Amino acid sequence: MQVVAFTESHRTALRRIYRQARRTAFHWLDGRPLLAEAFDGDTRGERIWVCEGGRKTLGFIAVWEREHFIHHLYVDPRYTGRGVGSLLLDHALGQIGRPAVLKCIADNFRARDFYLARGWLVVTEERGPDGPYLLMHYARR
């Protein structure tokens, strides 16, 4: 596996991963349709890195660099648990400043446990349009 910078050739695969991974991760939401193009608007202005394995696109991470904010980290559901998310997160953390920040939907226990196991700290719990979320910080270099 390797992490590379996003290019337009990744767009179709990342749109698919974004839709599928969100449906899997947020299964309790009201089933609102997520258009393929949602990826485009939801990552506009962000720096994106892509994890590839062989000829497959396995996942991506999108960062709002000015605020060291990790906005999206999604792995193709067929490849979860294989180190894709860790590789993407480590790569992004090597590129951005500290403290790094992210929001994690409180009911997304898998993601919450993923970040906590990697040294992220919960700063506060707040409420957003998708329900309660955890504001998390990472300060290590």
CA gap 135, 141 in Å, rounded: 19
Identify whether the C-beta of residue 64 lies closer than 8 Å to the C-beta of residue 73: no
The answer to whether the beta carbons of residues 60 and 49 sit under 8 Å apart is yes
Q: What span, in angstroms and rounded, lies between the C-alpha atoms of 46 and 128?
A: 21
Better pLDDT: 70 or 24? 70
Total-model pTM: 0.89
Sole residue written with tokens 């998390």: 136
Give the integer Cα–Cα distance in Å for 31 and 23. Answer: 8
68 three-class SS:
coil
pLDDT at 17: 92
The tens digit of pLDDT for each residue in 26-46 reads 655 555 556 667 888 889 999
C-beta separation of 135 from 122 below 8 A: yes
* CATH code of the domain occupying 2-138: 3.40.630.30
pLDDT bin (cut points 50, 70, 90) of residue 97 is confident
Domain ranges of the chain: 2-138
Residue type, 108: N
